[in-house]
Structure 1
């Protein structure tokens, strides 16, 4: 007789369901240190700008760097497909809402061009910023070496869900130890939400981990696929994996909460739950310097078969400096 395995449900928590209890000790703000580093790249502001076309451009990366953070450029987005990105962005933000998904799907069929990857990396560095670039696992073996050769300082391998083990029709799939040897720059991987997956990814040698599946304001992954874990629980579980891995190996792999952070309180809760840094999308899309002109849309919105996202009118709330540090 085969005994069926029972699936278990446990309570999970999002940002709105918790608050931070004050402790027994207070400290002057100037005596604290919020520096963040990942394999030799140090940031005085532990905030990364998400690899979204409405958020990050080479020029925006320069502004982000001036304020101590880092921006991640999407190598599978508009920047690596079109010479004149301003014209394309205007087309996206002025499209009627009911037509925008079809428009994005059409625009993102334009081939990715190696010379544009090199040009965007060079432009980012010319603006005084370290250049981090994002690729999906399926495109990593082709695009990551191009970016690294052009001078990219960090490769971010990012998809809705990324695991160390993957079943595919490819004879040889993406193997992170091989990628690390190939590009010889720090590799940040995401996204994941669980202890076991986080631990397995860290064991491959990656330098940082993105946490979050579907919490973003411009993302509809949870509605479309039903997949996701609220960010408080996801961050705590992945931070526990980081601590366990450090105990075993002596190597510290930073955990970065990515998505669903709308307020300063959410950011503080991320750190209280164990995050080393955070990645922001929509809050930074509201900056005057953002290329989206007050709009934002999900990275999976243009997917040809399963679009997961929407264009959101987020408005313009102030300069990047005001959004990060207050008016």
Structure 2
């Protein structure tokens, strides 16, 4: 399959949501009777159940504590970034307001200054407790390099879900600057569900699922605010990525009898 893009090199055509349409089937369903609930498996417990299949991105510009609480009440899931302003500052709203009020010509320097402030580990636990005290499902995230430390703190504080987030997720990561995360070991040691992302290929998705996460995030660069494709030239159009990764999920389920959303 595919077409030649140069000497000895082929590429296949991939598709995004703007390039396809769904063909209507032979049966229609009343929208009020459509069930959109989904479940996230938990070890030795009943799965977490969500009414709507929407996950709010772990970005400072999207999720704060109040947003996560409201999202949870509506039946969705919002992920709080443990390396953003929420855990660097006791009063993050003041910092965010300063960003809003700053002139565009000066905002880059301000952002650089804001994110040089270190993460305060006591605020990780505090934010998780805020979510739990409000009756919300507490989902938090970090990059792989911080996952073991921040995951332990969040879990101890009562977090329900831990997300390992990176631009591109793989089981094998090469670095001479730090010790790479052992994903299989991490998933085994965590008592709460672990979600890993992002991935866009069949092979990598299958390899990640074999490490034991409760869920996998699909997509590199599809978001409106994401610059991965434009800046780095990385990614796969979302429809093709979803279809390929769903095939990996089905293959893994057939092999293990464990369904990974």
Consecutive aligned runs of 4 or more in structure 1 exceeding 6 Å deviation: none
- Per-residue deviation, residues 49-75 of structure 1 (Å, max 9, x unmatched): 111112211111111111111110000
- Per-residue deviation, residues 3-54 of structure 1 (Å, max 9, x unmatched): xx94320101111101111011112223321111111111011111111112
> Does 1:22 find its partner at 2:29?
no
Measure how far apart 1:95 and its partner are. 1.9
> Does 1:177 find its partner at 2:179?
no
- Per-residue deviation, residues 162-190 of structure 1 (Å, max 9, x unmatched): 10111112674211221123321100000
> Does 1:10 find its partner at 2:12?
yes
> Does 1:74 find its partner at 2:48?
no
Measure how far apart 1:222 and its partner are. 1.2
Measure how far apart 1:236 and its partner are. 0.8
- Residue equivalent to 2:33: 31
Local SS of the residue matching 2:9: coil
Higher relative contact order (CA 8 A, sep 6+): 1
Q: TM-score, normalised by structure 1?
A: 0.74
- Listed as ranges, the matches of 1:1-327 within 5 Å are 6-39=8-41, 40-169=47-176, 172-254=179-261
Structure 1 contact 61–127 (Cα < 8 Å) conserved: no
- Per-residue deviation, residues 181-208 of structure 1 (Å, max 9, x unmatched): 3321100000011110101000111110
Could you list the runs of 5+ residues in structure 2 that have no partner in the other structure? 1-6, 42-46
Local SS of the residue matching 2:206: helix
Count how many residue pairs are aligned between Structure 1 and Structure 2. Answer: 250
Local SS of the residue matching 2:55: strand
Q: TM-score, normalised by structure 2?
A: 0.92
Q: For the structure 1 residues 170 and 206, does the alpha-carbon distance in structure 2 shift closer, same or farther, using more than 3 Å as the test? A: farther
Partners of 1:246 and 1:98 in 2: CA distance: 51
Measure how far apart 1:127 and its partner are. 1.7
CA RMSD of aligned residues (A): 1.4
